[in-house]
Amino acid sequence: MGTVLHVRIATGTGGGPEKTILNSPRHLAALGYRSLVAYLHPPDDAGFEVLKTRAAEKDCPLVGLPESLLIDPRVLWKLARLCRQESVTIWHGHDYKSNFYGLLLRPFVGFQVLSTVHGWVRHTRRTPLYYAIDRWCLGHQRAVICVSQDLFEKCSGLGLAPERLHLVENAIDTEEFKRKTQRPRAGRIRIGAVGRLSEEKGFGFLIEAVERLIERGFDISLAIAGEGELFDELEARMQSSAHAERLELLGFQADTRALFEGFDLFCLSSLREGLPNVVLEAMAMEVPVLATRSGGMQAFARDGVDALLVEPGSPDELEAGLARLLENPGQARSLASAARSRVQRETSFSARMARVAAIYDSLTGSARS
């Protein structure tokens, strides 16, 4: 029914959206859409080699476009040539720059444009400019997909036409993320966290909460997986702790399923989030989840049913929530079981991609039986 080009900025080994983007082509193929992915990345970025490996494992055609300028005419030219060579009919942007580039190239190439909003969470000196560009771009997209309820509400507040706005929440492959081994019930409890090592993830609050619990006598440890600009700062924070031997900074972990199998509890300490894939993965892997009420989590999680929710930005809240799960292992197991059942029932990746394909159909005028 057409060819889709997914476009996104990628630095290092990427983030949560890569779990959706790189997994999309093989699912879309069964729905009649040929697709490929183009990533704009810094020159000599070693992390892109990891992304290439991950794409190959998912049978995802991936094109890398090194870019050193804020707006690079050479990259625009390469993207235009790629679209013509591959007969791209739909440009699917995944951030402010890919949305902007799509709008610049549309008059010359003639594709339809849509965007997925994964969330606006990182704050840098240029963030206000990027947000302003993205708000303008979203108003000119044929369709906008939001991955969580809070993002849907934010986009509604931008004045986007309701018929162009779609809520299609994140999803995962529950057969891929399925526990195959059980951790021993006896011994030290391992608390896990996964995410980009940046300010909005609130890992400093989590470290403090775990230190307090250790001092209260809980036999626990903390392992944080991920990479990012705060790696050195968090590593120094852990090494200087009186409980350094119980605090681990794991860096990037390619085998996330095995990672979750090694956790007894999972904690999302974020200050701002959409609906993060890592929480869905933890739920699918039957790891009890404590999460902050950060954006999409408040709308998605059912407090006390399939997760435990606390207020963001507070080590006190994280400490109290973790203590509750540690002191009530029966409740923790109940949360994990309910969460696994829910993600199987409601967050099927194939069902999500069918909804995305239906949006593509509406743009191309295709009829699906």
Whether 352 maps to a domain, the answer reads yes
- Residue 250 · residue 96 · CB < 8 Å: no
Give the per-residue pLDDT at 121: 60
pLDDT surpassing 50 at residue 291: yes
Give the per-residue pLDDT at 110: 94
Same domain, 341 and 230: yes
Give the per-residue pLDDT at 274: 79
pLDDT digits (tens, 9 = 90+) for 42-77: 999 989 999 999 999 999 999 999 998 888 999 999
| Higher pLDDT pick, 34 / 133 | 34
Quickly state the pLDDT bin for 305 (edges 50, 70, 90): very high
Whether 73 maps to a domain, the answer reads yes
pLDDT above 90: percentage of residues in the chain? 77
| Higher pLDDT pick, 348 / 7 | 7
Angle in degrees, 0-180, between the axes of helices 96-109 and 127-138, rounded to the nearest 10: 40
Range scoring the smallest mean pLDDT among 144-153, 292-301, 338-347: 292-301
**Token pair for residue 8?**
């996104």
Whether 60 maps to a domain, the answer reads yes
pLDDT surpassing 50 at residue 89: yes
Same domain, 198 and 144: no
Range scoring the smallest mean pLDDT among 105-114, 121-130, 166-175, 239-248: 121-130
pLDDT surpassing 80 at residue 263: yes
Complete DSSP assignment for 240-265: TSTTGGGEEEEE--S-HHHHHHT-SE
The DSSP bridge pattern shows strands 90-93 and 2-9 to be: parallel
Whether 179 maps to a domain, the answer reads no
Whether 177 maps to a domain, the answer reads no
Range scoring the smallest mean pLDDT among 209-213, 297-301, 317-321, 329-333: 297-301
| Distance between CA atoms of residues 80 and 122, nearest Å | 29
Give the per-residue pLDDT at 124: 65
Q: Quick one: DSSP state of residue 348?
A: B
Closest CA to 249 of 267, 230, 231, 224: 224
- Residue 227 maps to which CATH number? 3.40.50.2000
Same domain, 224 and 101: no
| Higher pLDDT pick, 74 / 186 | 74
Complete DSSP assignment for 159-220: T--GGGEEE----B-TTTS---S---SSS-EEEEEES-SSGGG-HHHHHHHHHHHHHTT--E
Tell me the average pLDDT across 92-119: 96
Which domain covers residue 61, as residue numbers? 2-171+348-364
Average pLDDT of the chain is: 93
**Token pair for residue 185?**
């019930």
Same domain, 360 and 340: no
Whether 369 maps to a domain, the answer reads no
pLDDT digits (tens, 9 = 90+) for 204-259: 999 999 999 999 999 999 999 999 999 999 999 999 999 999 999 999 998 888 99
Work out whether the CA dihedral 26, 28, 30, 34 comes out positive or negative.
negative
Q: Among all chains, which residue has been given the structure tokens 């020159």?
A: 43
Give the per-residue pLDDT at 369: 46
Same domain, 334 and 271: yes
| Higher pLDDT pick, 274 / 23 | 23
Complete DSSP assignment for 314-340: -HHHHHHHHHHHHH-HHHHHHHHHHHH
Same domain, 98 and 127: yes
- Residue 186 · residue 216 · CB < 8 Å: no
The DSSP bridge pattern shows strands 189-194 and 165-167 to be: unpaired
CA 44 to chain centre: 24
Whether 241 maps to a domain, the answer reads yes
Tell me the average pLDDT across 278-295: 94
Q: How far is CA 337 from CA 162, 262, 293, in A?
A: 36, 17, 21
Q: Is 261 exposed, middle or buried (0-12, 13-18, 19+ CB in 10 A)?
A: middle
Same domain, 19 and 165: yes
Same domain, 206 and 243: yes
Report, in angstroms and rounded to the nearest whole number, the Rg of the chain calculated over CA atoms.
21
Give the per-residue pLDDT at 131: 82
pLDDT surpassing 90 at residue 8: yes
| Higher pLDDT pick, 79 / 182 | 79
Same domain, 102 and 225: no
Same domain, 165 and 199: no
Same domain, 275 and 355: no
Give the per-residue pLDDT at 185: 64
One-letter amino acid of 11:
T
Same domain, 282 and 134: no
Give the chain's domain count. Answer: 2
Tell me the average pLDDT across 118-138: 79
Whether 84 maps to a domain, the answer reads yes
Range scoring the smallest mean pLDDT among 276-280, 286-290, 312-316, 336-340: 276-280
